[in-house]
Chain A
């Protein structure tokens, strides 16, 4: 089946730093989604990407749908304490209602 490799697995940064994480797939997707999950909560949708090459921003977050349809990245600028959590990418194909999730990137902010 499809696999999503998400990297890095974890990040330790200082407040104010920029963050970059990415997902790569062994096959193509038609939709890429980025979620953030706080401990004990459900994932919250951050950005949805529907077209290859699409670059979308949501406040300090920017995500891009790779031209090859096999990758996506998420950038966070000027990180703040509430950015702490686990970030998941997810890919989906047309006609396949199932999402394939990445393994997550755990973001920690060092005081």
Chain B
């Protein structure tokens, strides 16, 4: 059972607002990730982190930013939300076991920008 949490689960917000999506994990994992996923579609990596003070951009260009000040916390921020940001955002963390890395996902935040 993965202990990774995301808040809020659902967010409806107007264009131009600043929002922060929270993600935290209690497993002590160094690596954390943010994915963007449209309903029923594949996941696209937008940010990841190797550990504290490390942030990297993923494969899909995103206007969001992330920070990693504490191991357990990896928030994602949109400075000015737009309708094109409407999507589901999934946070994940990973550990190394059995010879490979395994990623565990949070429940996601569904964002609707009006």
Contact = CB atoms under 8 A, between A and B. Distances in A.
Interface of A: 1, 30-31, 33, 35, 39-45, 48, 50-51, 86, 88, 90, 92, 94, 97-99, 101-104, 106
B104 A45 contact: yes
23 contacts: A1-B59, A33-B103, A39-B39, A40-B88, A40-B108, A41-B108, A42-B108, A43-B90, A43-B105, A45-B102, A45-B103, A45-B105, A88-B42, A88-B43, A94-B100, A97-B50, A98-B48, A99-B43, A99-B103, A102-B42, A103-B41, A104-B41, A104-B42
Contacts of B42: 88, 101-104
A99 B48 CA distance: 11
A17 B88 CA distance: 32
B25 interface: no
A58 B48 CA distance: 29
Contacts of A98: 45, 48, 58-59
B71 to A, nearest CB: 16
Contacts of A102: 42
- Interface range on chain B (Cβ under 8 Å from partner): 20 to 34
A31 to B, nearest CB: 3
Contacts of A43: 43, 90, 105
Contacts of A50: 98-100
Interface in B41-68: 41-43, 45, 48, 50, 58-59
A89 to B, nearest CB: 10
Interface of A, secondary structure class, is loop
Given A48-B98, A97-B50, A103-B41, 19 more contacts: A30-B99, A31-B99, A31-B101, A33-B102, A40-B108, A40-B110, A42-B107, A43-B90, A43-B105, A45-B102, A48-B100, A48-B102, A90-B103, A97-B33, A97-B48, A97-B94, A98-B58, A103-B42, A104-B41
Contacts of A45: 2, 102-105
Contact of A51 (B41, B88, B99, B106): B99
